[in-house]
Amino acid sequence: MSTSAPETLTQTATANLPQAVEPRNPGMELDMDWVMRTRANRSAIERRAATLPGRRSVKKDYQAAWLARAISCIDLTTLAGDDTAGRVQRLCAKARQPVRADILEAIDLTGLQTGAVCVYHDMIETAVKALEGTGIPVAAVSTGFPAGLSPFHLRIAEIEESVKAGAEEIDIVISRRLVLSGDWQGLYEEMKAFRAACGDAHVKAILATGELGTLQNVARASLVCMMAGADFIKTSTGKESVNATLPVSLVMIRAIREFYERTGFRVGYKPAGGISKAKDSINYLALIKEELGDRWLRPDLFRFGASSLLGDIERQLEHHVSGAYSASWRHAAG
């Protein structure tokens, strides 16, 4: 990544405004030859990923622009057992105004919002009401999140109920056992059924990469889910012991690139879990820019699944303005 910003600060801030709509991935027939030819060279992948943080750096206004872009791509998330309507309403207020007004004014940046708000099913209606008129979509986790082990008909029904409640995006979890046992036909049929149940709502396929065993399994699962019509592929639920990493991201991003080159359809990417520092967000954006290009640096094709990342980015933006770091409590999530 060069030291230039993705665009100017003002252009970065307008990332959530209406833009050309990408044709939705319609899926394709399962191509087992393509799936089984797919390999992953772990040492080469890890070597490539390890070089990224040390050789890519952005400073000053350019860094502020990249961090603003990261904010526009955050799925601001609360997935706690003690979620309340009040907490979700505060989170939605933060999604609408993710950075303190005085900081935005100091860098002449307006119109900045997060990419979405992600909640459990029970909080969808609360979030939809709180975000009315903003254009910020509500995403809901579904299909027995995070384990995905509830009866299949209930997982389908859960998707349908969440769409009916107003969720525009559904984050589903695949059955990991299908990957671990090499049942690619089973994974394809499951993903197709989830996509059909979503209707017009976009579907993000959570692979739970930390539980798939090998990078080769990650690559193959990514392809199968895209063949079945996934609009996004996503690393993790955030509940696994290992969540998003740069090597896993490189594997999934290259699968997205190969799928696009073969089919002409762009599929989105969402790393989730463990991304809490502003510098990490820039590393992921750099990887996207280098491997997929600038078109993927928009919230319709790239998201961070995060709850604490926004606070650190806001601290970095205040440092950019004032030259001093502030306490985290000055940048509450809601």
pLDDT at 334 over 70: no
**pLDDT in the model for residue 55:** 67
Nearest to 136 by CA among 158, 167, 107, 165: 167
pLDDT at 242 over 50: yes
Return d(Cα 114, Cα 120) in angstroms, integer. Answer: 18
**pLDDT in the model for residue 117:** 98
Nearest to 78 by CA among 240, 238, 230, 207: 238
CB contact at 8 A, 331 and 100: yes
- pTM to 2 decimal places: 0.92
Q: What are 145-158's pLDDT values in tens digits?
A: 999 999 999 999 99
Nearest to 120 by CA among 77, 73, 160: 77
Confidence of residue 18 (pLDDT cuts 50, 70, 90): very low
Query: Which of the residues are catalytic?
Result: 171, 234, 270
Q: What are 183-194's pLDDT values in tens digits?
A: 999 999 999 999
**pLDDT in the model for residue 327:** 72
Q: What are 260-311's pLDDT values in tens digits?
A: 999 999 999 999 999 999 999 999 999 999 999 999 999 999 999 988 999 9
Q: Which CATH number fits domain 25-331: 3.90.1570.10, 3.40.50.450, 3.40.718.10, 3.20.20.70?
A: 3.20.20.70
For residue 171, list its beta bridge partners. Answer: 141, 204
CA–chain centroid gap for 188, Å, is 21
Q: In terms of DSSP bridges, do strands 268-270 and 232-234 run parallel, antiparallel, or are they unpaired?
A: parallel
Q: What are 80-122's pLDDT values in tens digits?
A: 999 999 999 999 999 999 999 999 999 988 899 999 999 999 9
Q: What are 39-70's pLDDT values in tens digits?
A: 999 999 999 999 888 766 788 899 999 999 99
Q: Select, from the ranges 105-109, 195-199, 241-245, the one with the highest average predicted confidence (pLDDT).
A: 195-199
Nearest to 240 by CA among 263, 219, 212, 282: 212
